[in-house]
Amino acid sequence: MRDLLTTAAYAGIESAKPEKVLRSSITLDDRELRIREEKYDLTLYRSVRLVALGKAACGMAGVMEDMLGHWIKDGIVITKEGHSVPLKISDIYEASHPLPDDRSVEAAKELEEFLRSGSQDDLVIVLISGGGSSLLTSPAKGLSLADIQTTTDLLLRSGAPIGHLNTVRKHISSVQGGRLAQASLGAQVLVLVISDVLQNHLDVIASGPFMGDSSSFSDVLRIIDEYDLRDDMPVSVMDEMRRGQEGLIEETPEVGDPIFDRVRHFILADVVTAANAVMMTGKQLGFAVDLIDPAVEGEARDVGRRIANRLIDSMRCRKVPFIEIYAGETTVTVQGTGKGGRNQELALSAALVLDGIKNVAIASVGTDGTDGPTDAAGAIVDGGTVDRGFQAGLDARAYLNNNDSYNFLSVTNDLFMTGATLTNVNDLILASGNPRL
């Protein structure tokens, strides 16, 4: 079962790799660039410029450099540390994720200068993938990098979903929430996206640097209150949000603002792309395959428990080997002092339900190759996971309660390690059983 889930998970990851995604959606016929049904004559522009943001930025930029070659005048790439690959044209900047650092601020400054050095006669091709919100950080006037770091960390540890987190980010940043469209000086901007956001909300992906924003400072304050963080937030952030609510600070540009008239977005791949590849692989291997939920959200340990219970029920009623596919992005409310990520926490919670049950396994894998602040992409657990920990003197439930899934699963040899995959389309959660054994 574990080998099957490993094979299936890798198939999902490979389907979302930039090489496959971009070449299946984009072609160049002499001077005509085609993106799906849209066509752009490259001779009509003064120059073609390349921008790439996110964990898949280098992979995406490399494909575009190979495809467009001499048409590209220059480029800038901002990616997570350790996710760089050599490029021929574009300058590469590495920064930190999930919390920004000084390199994130420097990268944002370089990108703004890059965009403002162009003209309205340019074609700017922007390649966006998951992670852009942290990698591209420029504190709004009156705030500091430390303010953004503290605010981000508080929301992450409170289990805030990405939509809430990025609503806040857009209002404490000077480059997100559509503001890079302002810096593009009216150029034709084509934004090509490998989405890591459920339902592909363009204003949420990388905090929508080229997309109009419908949220407000009042929304930010409601989110802060929802997680009871008012007393923990930096005083400077709270002061700025109140000033924004009172109309003393300009809101982010809205959808319909003229600055977006020449901006076009294309979603090239998302988590459903990966889930479909898993389905095809499972069927080729002779398994019955069902896509149960392509938009899983919620507390990781609750989701893990629910998926494990469904797997047990399926083992009772199914007659043939099967895979049940889930995809999405869970959250973790951090209460302990351990080490882990949402996929590992989900898997450990599932392992407690599966304890002692044979011929079942669950894999929970981040398609970007990293899960939380760890070097694992996630984990694959089975009915023997809890006992393997017990034999090593570890109490699975105690480790789960301490948010210490990594240190438990590393001992039981259940971590799923991929290294940087150079893509990012949320998480794959695969549950499999074989009633015949």
Q: 101-125, pLDDT tens digit by residue?
A: 999 999 999 999 999 999 999 999 9
Model pLDDT, residue 1: 82
Q: 136-169, pLDDT tens digit by residue?
A: 999 999 999 999 999 999 999 999 999 999 999 9
Residue 125's nearest CA partner among 46, 49, 38, 44 is 49
Judged against a pLDDT cut of 90, whether residue 324 lies above it is answered with yes
Contact status, residue 103 vs residue 200, Cβ threshold 8 Å: no
Q: 279-296, pLDDT tens digit by residue?
A: 999 999 999 999 999 999
Q: How far apart are CA 184 and CA 118, in angstroms?
A: 7
Confidence bin at 436 (pLDDT 50/70/90): confident
End-to-end CA distance of the chain: 11
Judged against a pLDDT cut of 90, whether residue 216 lies above it is answered with yes
Model pLDDT, residue 113: 97
Domains observed in the chain: 17-270 (3.40.50.10180), 272-433 (3.40.1480.10)
Query: Token pair of 394, please?
Result: 């570890």
Query: Token pair of 120, please?
Result: 């309205």
Model pLDDT, residue 278: 98
Contact status, residue 207 vs residue 177, Cβ threshold 8 Å: yes
Model pLDDT, residue 74: 97
Q: Residues 219-242: what's their mean pLDDT?
A: 97
In percent, the amount of the chain with pLDDT more than 90 equals 98
Give Cα separations from 365 to 96, 161, 274, 286 (angstroms).
Answer: 21, 18, 11, 22
SS3 354: helix
Q: How far apart are CA 150 and CA 156, in angstroms?
A: 10
Sign of CA dihedral 232, 233, 236, 241: negative
Query: Token pair of 254, please?
Result: 């809205």
Q: Which residue has the tokens 């959250």?
A: 331
Q: How far apart are CA 345 and CA 330, in angstroms?
A: 10
Give the predicted TM-score (pTM) of the model: 0.93
Contact status, residue 175 vs residue 108, Cβ threshold 8 Å: yes
Q: 259-276, pLDDT tens digit by residue?
A: 999 999 999 999 999 999
CB atoms within 10 A of CB 76: 22
Q: Residues 224-244: what's their mean pLDDT?
A: 97
Residue 4's nearest CA partner among 326, 349, 356, 363 is 363
Judged against a pLDDT cut of 80, whether residue 437 lies above it is answered with no
Q: 198-213, pLDDT tens digit by residue?
A: 999 999 999 999 999 9
Confidence bin at 316 (pLDDT 50/70/90): very high
